Amino acid sequence: MQQSLRCGIFILCALVHSFTALSQVTATAVKDIQPGSAGSEPKFLTLYNNAIYFSAVDGVHGRELWKSDGTEAGTIMVKDIYPGNKDSDPEWLTVSNGILYFSAYTNTTGWELWRSDGTEAGTFLLKDITPGYSATYDNTSPSHMVDVEGTLYFALSNSNPIVANRGLWKSDGTAAGTVKVAGTYTNTVGSGYITPTNLTYVNGGLFFIGQWPSLPFSTTLWKSDGTEAGTVMVSTNITRFPYGIQPAYLAALNSEVYFAADIDTEGGGALWKSDGTEAGTVVVRDMDINSTDGGVQHLANANNTLYFSGFPGASANSELWKSDGTSAGTVFVKDINPGLSGSNSSNFTNHGGRVYFVASTADQGSEIWATDGTESGTALVADLYPEAGSTLPNVSIGGRVLIALNGSLYFRGVLDNGLGEELYKLNEMILPVDWEDIGIECKKGLAHLYWKTAWEVNTKDFIVQASTDALTWTNRDTIAAAGSGSASAGYQFAEKSTRNKYLYYRLLQRDTDGKFTYSKILNIICGKAETQLRVFPNPANSTITLSGLNARDITRIVITDITGRRVMAFEDKSTLIDISQLSKGLYILHLVKTDATRLSRKFIKQ
């Protein structure tokens, strides 16, 4: 059974072309893979054959290879690689030339290279590269996999028990074609093991971070053409780089590799780029902070723009930046979490023409954000786990967190539904109308509703709806829309009679293709003064208090959930109400008056 967030969250988010678009955002668990609060903890999300592949735990088997087409029925285990409740723990899932590669563990082979076509029969050990070490848990594992023009490249660590295996490898998908490229080096700088990490495809070639011999943990930028002779340091200039380039967070853009580096002789912490030559390895922009990663973190290419978390000016908080690969085009986007902590933006993912990412704030924790590259167009998509904490608590482990499939965005996270960490689908409804303004006021004792759109695309009309209780709605008028265009359009509606006692108004916006959405609800009291009802505290844990209550005008108090289902009702007109037995969620309190009208207020039960 699919689990959904308890209620939709309406937000006004600047997400499209720097405009403010009305959206309704919810999240649905694709499948409760491991029932209970532990969760399946999906990791290494990867697209392959129109599905998302990942590793997960279901409570019966260990951590194994799974796939999902985005439906509950289509979310299944591919193969129990290590039968029983033991973990094969698939990692580094990577697609190359139509094959899904990954590393996995069994008690007969240890950590080795596997391949899959998405079926149980087509999932098998590709090659036992380090035979005879089945008891060794991690030091034989292929890692840092990347596709380079149809060839898989990967690394075997320096802790591999077979010394000759250590280094850079490649595979064409066959056991015979899975071979070592290079493992050691000797040049004017010194000699040692290459120790490749962060393998990155750039314009038909391979760049990676490898060893620099001057210090035990010094690194520099390497490149490879797939041969031992062609696997070399980008620069051996010990005068310019006495401790190596020490790159971090490699990303490709415009046929060059970009990275973070902290080199005192050339400005300190900075964003760098390289075309594979020493002369072409240069600073793009000095980020002003002297730190080991150059003030640049989580660098990624999304929508052909580099996004990263960096330090604005001399401040030590890490916030959202972007770059087009030039110094002038490397700019600060937004201070998402003002103060010293920063938002630590990461996991940049292209989806629907925008860039979605994870950012952390003091108020919302780690949640999903989106940007069009401008400050006004950068906003929280939704606080999917309000009040209690972070939807995305594990962004630093297990590979990517966000992934797009068939027009939808998926993520691995935690919601307030008792499921633990699972795979979720983000449900967004953003219609082609940009709401510039919407409001309501009293004019001569009558409600006057006005709204303005900055631009419209295939918008049919607006239906003005009114209600006395925010539950049952009456259509008051239908107003034709401008239709399509980028010009601002203004609209208005006014009640004509004081006999109408409506307290709430909203707009139903309809599109020419049948899609529709609602505006936010507007509350107004015109004419004679009405009961000024206030509910506090809000949110509340166990009790709520009512103020402004005129007991003589009230016949009954009713509480409903957001669907309209009655959960409490009583004739006691006490100003203190016990809500401790209610589940967490959004509720509406209704005061039924002697004239049969209602006053309603929303409150949140924590």
Condensed to tens digits (0 to 9), the pLDDT of residues 41-66 reads 999 999 999 999 999 999 999 999 99
Which structure tokens are listed for 177?
């074609």
Q: What is the pLDDT of residue 138?
A: 57
Q: What is the pLDDT of residue 17?
A: 32
Q: How many CB atoms lie within 10 A of CB 264?
A: 10
Which part of the chain has CATH 2.60.40.10?
432-523
Q: Which residues of the chain have pLDDT under 70?
A: 1-24, 134-139, 264-269, 288-294, 312-316, 387-388, 429-435, 484-487, 527-532, 548-553, 563-564, 572-573, 593-598
Quote the CA–CA distance of 437 and 439 in Å, as a whole number. 7
Q: What is the pLDDT of residue 367?
A: 92
- Which of 39, 43, 32 is closest to 88 using CA atoms? 43
Let me know how many helices (H) and strands (E) the chain has, helices first.
Answer: 0, 49
Asked if 13 contacts 20 with a C-beta cutoff of 8 angstroms, the reply is yes
Q: What is the pLDDT of residue 151?
A: 97
Which part of the chain has CATH 2.60.40.1930?
534-605
- Residue 523, beta-bridge partner list: 504
Q: What is the pLDDT of residue 4?
A: 39
Q: What is the pLDDT of residue 551?
A: 65
Quote the CA–CA distance of 296 and 319 in Å, as a whole number. 10
Asked if 274 contacts 280 with a C-beta cutoff of 8 angstroms, the reply is yes
Q: What is the pLDDT of residue 549?
A: 64
Kindly report, residue by residue over 417-473, the tens digit of the pLDDT.
888 899 999 987 655 566 677 888 878 778 889 888 877 777 889 999 988 777 778
Q: What is the pLDDT of residue 76?
A: 97
Q: What is the pLDDT of residue 72?
A: 96
Q: What is the pLDDT of residue 136?
A: 54
- Tell whether the torsion through CA atoms of 118, 123, 126 and 127 is positive or negative: positive
Q: What is the pLDDT of residue 268?
A: 55
Q: What is the pLDDT of residue 430?
A: 52
Q: What is the dihedral of CA 312, 318, 324, 325, to 10 degrees?
A: 90
Tell me: domain 432-523, CATH 2.60.40.10, correct? Answer: yes
- Tell whether the torsion through CA atoms of 577, 583, 585 and 586 is positive or negative: negative
Quote the CA–CA distance of 247 and 227 in Å, as a whole number. 23
- Which of 344, 351, 359, 435 is closest to 392 using CA atoms? 359
Asked if 238 contacts 214 with a C-beta cutoff of 8 angstroms, the reply is yes
3-class SS of residue 123? coil
Q: Parallel, antiparallel, or unpaired for β 576-578 and 543-547?
A: antiparallel
Topology of domain 534-605, per CATH?
A: Immunoglobulin-like (2.60.40)
